[in-house]
Amino acid sequence: MIAWAGSCRPRCQGFGSWGGVGVRGRFRSLGQGRYRDLGARPSLVCRPLLPAGRSRLRRGCAGRAGPGHEGGGGRAGALAAAAVTAVALAVAAWRRARPVREVLFFPSRPCCIEALLAEAAEPGAPARPCPCPLPSGDTALSRLVRRLLSARRSLDLCLFSFSCPQLARTVQLLHRRGVRVRLVTDAQYMGLHGSQIGRLRHAGIQVRHDQHSGYMHHKFAIVDRRMLITGSLNWTTQAIQSNRENVLVVEDAEYVKAFQEEFERIWEEYNPANYRFFSERH
């Protein structure tokens, strides 16, 4: 007979099934929250009920069997725990289904995004600590990076100025991951010291720019033709760390459609095939 430490079972149920597919054959349910240990190692593996693509096994509760503690509290306890699990899963599903509506205000505290990039580059890989002294907490910048990293198919960028190395690395990572990245920018600002446009071009990302005297002054991004990220923020370290700026993140089909059409218009207008380097008058 085996009894479970109090913290073990609820944590397990929060992430997956219990006593069924979640337990790998070394325990047999005897009812009333009791389980017979069938030998081998006293460990178990929960099978997480996560969306496709996030299905790595969560190893938890390993060998948390302890003497003298009767876990579960019988049938009533099991029913209550199952109800809690069902509610938690329903809330998680509702959160996933709810369209994103988020406002980010800058300046953002300086933060390290290495862990975010590492997780995006190699999901599930053990985290390697970054030697830099910056904290890796929840900031406006880290939230913006997370939204960008949610891209799976396309990322369309229309940015007046782009000199933030962290955001450039985020975009490069998406490009390496097979996301189709297109970038429209301003001809005068793309040549300034610190601009990341050359680096992104060098990485193979398609970049187009204006050829007018007026600025290409937009600052918006569209993720997977689904999510619009727009506001006053230029993608520069100066703006991110020092300026008062706002960024709106919305999953709204109407707004996305309007911005997507604007992007496609500009993308075609700035097609190098349409450049006129010399006056047509002779």
What is the dihedral angle through the alpha carbons of 143, 148, 149, 152, rounded to the nearest 10 degrees?
150
Name the residue among 129, 229, 226 with its Cα closest to residue 171.
229
- Residue 115 found at the interface with Zn ion (CB under 5 A): no
Site residues (CB under 5 A) for Zn ion, limited to 58-77: none
| CA distance from start to end of the chain | 96
Tell me if residue 257 is catalytic.
no
Measured in residues, the chain has a length of 282
> Residue 149 burial by CB count (10 A; 0-12/13-18/19+): exposed, middle or buried?
buried
Tell me if residue 252 is catalytic.
no
Interface residue with Zn ion, options 44, 78, 112, 164 (CB under 5 A): 112
137 or 214: whose CB is closer to Zn ion?
A: 137
Range in contact with Zn ion (rule: CB under 5 A) among 32-40, 56-64, 74-82, 104-112: 104-112
- Residue 130 found at the interface with Zn ion (CB under 5 A): yes
Catalytic residue among 202, 224, 257, 282: 224
Catalytic residue among 212, 219, 257, 282: 219
Catalytic residue among 209, 217, 257, 282: 217
Least CB distance from residue 134 to Zn ion, whole Å? 5
Interface residue with Zn ion, options 132, 192, 253, 258 (CB under 5 A): 132
Interface residue with Zn ion, options 22, 33, 114, 174 (CB under 5 A): 114
Three-state DSSP at 150 gives coil
Q: How many residues bind Zn ion (CB under 5 A)?
A: 4
The DSSP secondary-structure symbol of 178 reads T
- Residue 117 found at the interface with Zn ion (CB under 5 A): no
- Residue 145 found at the interface with Zn ion (CB under 5 A): no
- Residue 2 found at the interface with Zn ion (CB under 5 A): no
Name the residue among 135, 136, 133, 132 with its Cα closest to residue 115.
136
- The answer to whether the beta carbons of residues 8 and 64 sit under 8 Å apart is yes
Range in contact with Zn ion (rule: CB under 5 A) among 111-119, 178-186, 204-212, 264-272: 111-119
Strand 154-159 relative to strand 180-185, pairing: parallel
Helix (H) or strand (E) holding 73: none
Helices 165-176 and 140-149, interaxial angle, to 10°? 20
Active site residues: 217, 219, 224
Interface with Zn ion by CB under 5 A: which residues?
A: 112, 114, 130, 132
